[in-house]
Amino acid sequence: MSREEAMSLKEILEKMIKDGAHVLLSANNKDWEASALLADLSEPMLKRRAYLQPGLYIAEISDSGYLGQVLFRLKPKHG
DSSP annotation of 64 reads T
pLDDT of 2 > 50? The answer is: no
Q: Residues 55-77: pLDDT tens digits?
A: 999 999 988 889 999 999 999 98
Q: How large is the average pLDDT for residues 33-47?
A: 96
Residue 25's φ and ψ, nearest 5 degrees, are -100, 125
pLDDT of 3 > 50? The answer is: no
Mean pLDDT of the chain: 91
Domain boundaries, position 22: 3-76
All residues at 6 or more sequence positions from 61 whose CB lies less than 8 Å from its CB, including other chains: 1, 6, 49, 50, 51, 67, 68
Question: How many separate domains does the chain show?
Answer: 1
- Please, which residues bridge with residue 24 across strands? 75
pLDDT attached to residue 79: 62
| pLDDT interval class at 31 (50, 70, 90) | very high
Q: What percentage of the chain has pLDDT greater than the value 70?
A: 92
